[in-house]
C-alpha cells in the first residue's frame, strides 16, 4: 500500500493508526482539525499529538473539517489516485455533548462519514474503507438482558447465551433509545455497510467498546479509563453517574484495535460488521476500575455518586469478538486491563 488517508488522525485511534501504517512503510495523509478541543475543552486538545505525527517522514497533515464537502474533495483529488486505504476514526464521541448540539453531532458523525464514503467511491473506489463505529448503535437494548447484581458489578445471568463471550452482532439496533450520539453513529454505520453491499466497496465496520490507551486525551464526557486515572493521579474529583457504579464496560487498547484494522486491511471484506472490544479478556465495572487505578497509582480517588444515569448508558456491555477472530485467526490481544492502566498511569505521571 502506497498511501492511506486517516481521519481523526490526532485522536487516540487515529494517531495509533497513523503510527502503525507509517511503521509498515505506508505514507499517511492525516485529516484532523482538532474539534476535540471544541467538544471537551483545551485539556482534550490533540495539538500535541499532531506535533508528534508531523515529525514522521511519511506523514502529511490536512486540517480539514470533514463536514466541508469541498475541502474533503480537494484532499481526495490530490491524493486519491494513490490511496489504498481510508481509515475513518473522526467523530463526536460523547452522549452528553451530542444532546447540546445535535446538528453538530449529526454533521460530524453522519454527514462527515457520508462525505468520506462518497469521496472514496469517486476517487479511489478500490481502497479499503474502515469505519470506527460504536456499541451504542445497539441503544439501550443491552439493558434488557437478564442482569444479576453482585458486590462490585452487574453481570449477565450465567444461563444466558451472551454469558460466555459477550454480545454478538445479531443484537437488534431497532426499538431502543440510542441517545443522539448513538443515532448519528447508526446512520453512519448503516451507510458504510451499504457502500460495501450496494457498490461492492471493501468496507468494514468496527463497533467498539471502550477504546483506550495512554494517548487518550481523557475528559469528563469521554475517555473513561484515561480520565479516571487522570483524576486518581491529580486528585481531581470524579463523579459516577447511576447504576451504583457497578456498570460494566469492556476496554480495548488502541494497539489491539489498530492491529485488528491491519488484519482487515490485508484481507478486506465488503460490508462487514464486527463487534470489537475487550471482551471477556478485558472488562471491569466502575468500582473495579477505581480500585485498580488506586492500586496502580498508590493514591485514593476522590469520587462522588450521582443517582441519575446518563441517557442511553449501558448497565452491562461486553463485546463478543469471536466473529472477527474466526475471520482473522492470527489476531490476538496484547493488552489486558491491568497492563493498559499501567501504561495510562505512566503517561499521566509523565505529563505532570
Average pLDDT over residues 319-348: 97
Q: Quick check: 298 pLDDT over 70?
A: yes
- Domain locations along the chain: 3-351
At the topology level of CATH, where does 3-351 sit? Rossmann fold (3.40.50)
pLDDT at position 224 is: 80
- Considering just the CA atoms, what is the radius of gyration of the chain in Å? 19
Lowest average pLDDT, out of 38-42, 95-99, 203-207, 214-218, goes to 214-218
Q: Quick check: 319 pLDDT over 70?
A: yes
pLDDT in tens, 11-70: 999 999 999 999 999 999 999 999 999 998 888 888 999 999 999 999 999 999 999 999
Q: Quick check: 223 pLDDT over 70?
A: no
pLDDT in tens, 237-264: 999 999 999 999 999 999 999 999 999 9
Reading the block at residue 122, the C-alpha cell is: 469517486
pLDDT at position 221 is: 58
Q: Quick check: 150 pLDDT over 70?
A: yes
pLDDT at position 117 is: 98
**C-alpha to C-alpha distance for 301 and 166, rounded to whole angstroms:** 30
pLDDT at position 272 is: 98
Q: Quick check: 216 pLDDT over 80?
A: no
pLDDT at position 95 is: 84
Amino acid at each position: 500500500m502506497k498511501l492511506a488517508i486517516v481521519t481523526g488522525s490526532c485522536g487516540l485511534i487515529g494517531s495509533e493508526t497513523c503510527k502503525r501504517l507509517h511503521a509498515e512503510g505506508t505514507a499517511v495523509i492525516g485529516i484532523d482539525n482538532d474539534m476535540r478541543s471544541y467538544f471537551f475543552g483545551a485539556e482534550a486538545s490533540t495539538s500535541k499529538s499532531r506535533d508528534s505525527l508531523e515529525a514522521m517522514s511519511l506523514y502529511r497533515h490536512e486540517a480539514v473539517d470533514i463536514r466541508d464537502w469541498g475541502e474533503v474533495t480537494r484532499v481526495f483529488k490530490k491524493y486519491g489516485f494513490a490511496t489504498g486505504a481510508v481509515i475513518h476514526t473522526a467523530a463526536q464521541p460523547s452522549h452528553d455533548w451530542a444532546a447540546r448540539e445535535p446538528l453538530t453531532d449529526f454533521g460530524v458523525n453522519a454527514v462527515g462519514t457520508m462525505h468520506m464514503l462518497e469521496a472514496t467511491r469517486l476517487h479511489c473506489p478500490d481502497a479499503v474503507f474502515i469505519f470506527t463505529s460504536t456499541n451504542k448503535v445497539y441503544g439501550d437494548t443491552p439493558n434488557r438482558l437478564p442482569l444479576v447484581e453482585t458486590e462490585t458489578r452487574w453481570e449477565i445471568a450465567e444461563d444466558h447465551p451472551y454469558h460466555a463471550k459477550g454480545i454478538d452482532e445479531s443484537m437488534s439496533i431497532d426499538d431502543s433509545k440510542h441517545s443522539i450520539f448513538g443515532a448519528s453513529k447508526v446512520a453512519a454505520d448503516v451507510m458504510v455497510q451499504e457502500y460495501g453491499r450496494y457498490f461492492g466497496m471493501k468496507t468494514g465496520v468496527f463497533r467498539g467498546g471502550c477504546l483506550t490507551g495512554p494517548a487518550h486525551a481523557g475528559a469528563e464526557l469521554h475517555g473513561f479509563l484515561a480520565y479516571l486515572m487522570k483524576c486518581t493521579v491529580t486528585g481531581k474529583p470524579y463523579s459516577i453517574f447511576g447504576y451504583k457504579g457497578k456498570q460494566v464496560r469492556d476496554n480495548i487498547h488502541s494497539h489491539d484495535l489498530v492491529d485488528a484494522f491491519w488484519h482487515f486491511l490485508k484481507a478486506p471484506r465488503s460490508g462487514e460488521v464486527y463487534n470489537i472490544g475487550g471482551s471477556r479478556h478485558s472488562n471491569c465495572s466502575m468500582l473495579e476500575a477505581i480500585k485498580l487505578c488506586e492500586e496502580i497509582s498508590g493514591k485514593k480517588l476522590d469520587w462522588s455518586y450521582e443517582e441519575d444515569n446518563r441517557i442511553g448508558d449501558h448497565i452491562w456491555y461486553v463485546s463478543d469478538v469471536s466473529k472477527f477472530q474466526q475471520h482473522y485467526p492470527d489476531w490476538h490481544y496484547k493488552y489486558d486491563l491491568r497492563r493498559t492502566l499501567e501504561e495510562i498511569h505512566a503517561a499521566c505521571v509523565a505529563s505532570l
